[in-house]
Amino acid sequence: MKDGLAHFAIDAKASLFTVQAFASGIVAVVAHSPKFAIRDVVGNMEFVPGSMQKASIQLTINISSLEIMDEVTSADRREIERIMFDEVLEKTIYPRVEYKSSRVTASKTSENMYRVNVAGDLTLHGITRGMGLDAQVVAGEDTLRAQGSFSVIQSDYGLKVASIAGGTLKLKDELKCGYFILGRRQD
């Protein structure tokens, strides 16, 4: 433990990140609101055990690891992925999403449990903007678990709001992102 900090690396296989898009307009009642899982996330968290002092977090998401979670036909899957990867995210130009904390505050809610507020920068589609995160964290001796959710406004990051099926289905600008992170101690 260097500088009194415990270091944790994200276990991507045991963690879950999701992104939910929502249909808009009158067709939203019957339309599909796709949900995606992010399968390739690397990152680390560090803090002083017992206090969450000097806490920080850094995450990198590989865009091409997004995978639609919903049951859809193979043709619909190909079309949704083509639009998402090529038209919206432009994964060949912007292959990663990155988040880096600048300030972390925590309040202890019970033994080894914390309510954490994170201020940081999210870089998506080549644009960096401030993004706050709230999480519930359980910090054990060898593992750290964090869960929470946040929203991303696609147009804030220069993302084209997708329309599918020749424009008959449009998605809302806001995406809901959820996460459950399992970190494993590295020191």
Tally of structural domains, the chain? 1
Location of structure tokens 């994170």: 118
* pLDDT at 30 (0 to 100): 45
Could you tell me if residue 111 is left (phi over 0), alpha (psi between -120 and 50 degrees) or otherwise beta?
A: beta
Share above pLDDT 70 across residues of the chain, in percent, rounded to a whole number = 91
Average confidence (pLDDT) over 34-46: 92
Average confidence (pLDDT) over 117-146: 96
* pLDDT at 119 (0 to 100): 97
What single DSSP character describes residue 171?
B
Average confidence (pLDDT) over 56-65: 95
What is the amino acid identity at position 4?
Answer: G
Average pLDDT, the chain: 89
Residue 169 has pLDDT above 70, yes or no: no
> What distance in Å separates the CA atoms of residue 79 and residue 89, rounded to the nearest whole number?
14
* pLDDT at 38 (0 to 100): 93
Query: Each residue of 66-119: pLDDT tens digit?
Result: 998 888 788 888 888 888 899 899 999 999 999 999 999 999 999 999 999 999
> What distance in Å separates the CA atoms of residue 56 and residue 74, rounded to the nearest whole number?
41
> What distance in Å separates the CA atoms of residue 15 and residue 39, rounded to the nearest whole number?
9
End-to-end Cα separation, the chain, in angstroms: 6
Residue 40 DSSP SS3: coil
Task: Give whole-number Cα distances, 155 to 28, 32, 89, in Å.
Answer: 20, 21, 12
> What distance in Å separates the CA atoms of residue 147 and residue 149, rounded to the nearest whole number?
7
Lowest mean pLDDT among 36-45, 87-96, 160-169: 160-169
Q: Which domain holds residue 137?
A: 2-185
List the CATH number of the domain containing 73: 2.40.128.110
Q: Does the pTM of the predicted model rise above 0.85?
A: yes
Could you tell me if residue 156 is left (phi over 0), alpha (psi between -120 and 50 degrees) or otherwise beta?
A: alpha
> What distance in Å separates the CA atoms of residue 151 and residue 75, rounded to the nearest whole number?
29
